[in-house]
Amino acid sequence: MPGSPTNAVGAIRFVGPPFEYHYAVPQSPELREIYLRVREADLLRYLPELQAIDGVFALPRRLRYVTAECGESGAFYRPADADVVLCYETLRTLYERGQHHQRFLGSDDDHPLRYVRANVRFIVLHETGHALVDLLDLPVTGRQEDAVDQLAAILMLHFADHDETTEQVTGNLRLAANWMLSDSTGAYDLHAYADEHALAEQRFFNLQCLIYGTDPARFASIIDAGDLTAARARGCVRETQRLERAWLHLLLPHVASEHAMSEAEALHYLRQRNTRPAPGPLPTPKIP
Ligand SMILES: [Zn+2]
């Protein structure tokens, strides 16, 4: 169909432009092995949540996912190019942190890679949130950093691979919560309080609340383990449902016409996905 996507109410929207993926060659020899591994695995293209939302939104331009050498650890959205950039240095740091976590837990040898993959999913989806806010001109009141943490968690809870169990899905989110704490000193200065991000511990507890809020009976152990206070937990179901509906409200008007659905249909679809049925015939992913 001719024409470009438009956000005008009532206008015809076409399928969104597909995401693009690029693995930039690093200059530093010590990052070359990481580069070769992620390029070989085509890491970004096979993140299940990105696959689920690819082409779903009527974006005004293509969104590209890039791995690159940055000179420091990090990940960011670059509005001028509509690029989400994940730094090789971050992948290296994540692997080291995963090794440390493995030793701490005494877990299996594959733990560091699981740690990397879980966090790459969360980080890339967080940056995708920044990209959607920019490209779709979404309104955000309050901290954008909190809002896109919420979107990343919601996407991971609903759009993980169908063969991943609920425990694996929430386990991945809890590894992301662990990574949030990696910068924490427990003692903050003025810069930390003034930062655009919430304190690491607050991001950690917000994420635990979102996990708990999906199924309090199933995740009661989160409170027992001290990862969520009983007082905060009381409001987590309502909080989780409110955040899901808020993101639906924001995103549904931008869903490309061939994926269009009402809010009721979308909520029903999300709830269905959250039950994580046994492998079998699956519905086509349609909405974020
Ligand atoms: Zn951010």
CA of 168 to the centre of ligand 1 (A): 24
CA of 148 to the centre of ligand 1 (A): 7
Kindly tell me if the per-residue pLDDT of 284 is higher than 60.
Answer: no
Residue 280's pLDDT is 38
**122-135 mean pLDDT:** 98
Q: Tell me the pLDDT tens digit for each residue of 183-227.
A: 777 778 888 888 888 888 899 999 999 999 998 998 898 999 899
Kindly tell me if the per-residue pLDDT of 287 is higher than 50.
Answer: no
CA of 206 to the centre of ligand 1 (A): 15
74-98 core/surface letters (b: 16 or more CB in 10 A; e: else)? ebebeeeebbbbbbbbbbbbbbebb
Helices 166-180 & 88-105 angle (0-180, nearest 10): 110
Hey, what are 124's tokens? 């890339």
Q: What whole-number distance in Å separates Cα of residue 121 and Cα of residue 84?
A: 13
| Domain definitions of the chain by residue range | 20-181+193-274
CA of 44 to the centre of ligand 1 (A): 18
**26-45 mean pLDDT:** 97
Closest CA to 149 of 78, 280, 240: 240
Specify the higher pLDDT residue, 35 or 17.
Answer: 35
CA of 74 to the centre of ligand 1 (A): 10
CA of 77 to the centre of ligand 1 (A): 8
Hey, what are 56's tokens? 């779903």
Q: What whole-number distance in Å separates Cα of residue 79 and Cα of residue 149?
A: 18
Split at pLDDT 50, 70, 90, the class of 11 is very low
**17-40 mean pLDDT:** 97
Q: What whole-number distance in Å separates Cα of residue 86 and Cα of residue 132?
A: 17
CA of 117 to the centre of ligand 1 (A): 18
Residue 232's pLDDT is 96
Residues within 5 Å of ion ligand 1, judged at the Cβ atom: 145
Q: Tell me the pLDDT tens digit for each residue of 221-244.
A: 899 989 999 999 999 999 999 999
Q: What whole-number distance in Å separates Cα of residue 217 and Cα of residue 71?
A: 45
Kindly tell me if the per-residue pLDDT of 271 is higher than 80.
Answer: no
